[in-house]
Amino acid sequence: MVKSVRMERTHWRDAALSERHRLWGYDCPAVDVDFLLIEYDRKVVKGLVDYKHEALPEWRRNSSSAAIADLGTKAGIPVFVCGYAEDFSWFWPIPVNEEARKWIPERDGHRLSEKEWVEMLYAIRDRSMPADVPVTGADADDNRR
């Protein structure tokens, strides 16, 4: 059986270029990142987060995660695949390189409240989250006091 290129599934992007690139063959892979955020501070990259909505069937790991992890590792920055709830009540960052495991040691990560996740995003910038940052979830009242 000959390996084939995965077909476009959502057609949210520029489908013509996506389909054209697939014609270039299995050994010329590329990934169109759905929602990759570059976390930065004062023009310096501090991390990469590939956000995945909870409704995605397999958001935890895939080949694009490995490629993004490689990029982050070469740059010396943490990389996470981060699932999130529709209502933002939880975030589930999964570390995909060693830099990220300094922040979330567990291989499959764990759920955090929005407050915990945002506090960590501030921490990777060597900053503290201001008290007036709005968050949702069970800990929202704690943050607004």
Which pLDDT belongs to residue 143? Answer: 39
Which residues 6+ apart lie within 8 Å of 3 measured at CB? Answer: 26
Count how many domains the chain has: 1
User: Is residue 15 one of the residues assigned to a domain?
Assistant: no
State the CB neighbour count (10 A cutoff) for residue 143.
20
Write down the pTM of the prediction. Answer: 0.78
| Residue-range definition of the domain harbouring residue 109 | 34-144
Tens place of pLDDT per residue across the chain (145 aa): 555 555 555 555 577 887 888 888 888 888 777 788 999 999 999 999 999 888 876 666 667 788 889 999 999 999 999 999 999 999 999 999 999 999 999 988 899 999 999 999 999 999 999 999 998 755 444 433 3
User: Is residue 82 one of the residues assigned to a domain?
Assistant: yes
Work out whether strand 36-41 and strand 44-53 pair parallel, antiparallel, or are unpaired: antiparallel
**Residues 94, 67: Cα–Cα separation, whole Å:** 15
User: Is residue 1 one of the residues assigned to a domain?
Assistant: no
CATH (domain of 108)? 3.40.1350
User: Is residue 96 one of the residues assigned to a domain?
Assistant: yes
User: Is residue 73 one of the residues assigned to a domain?
Assistant: yes
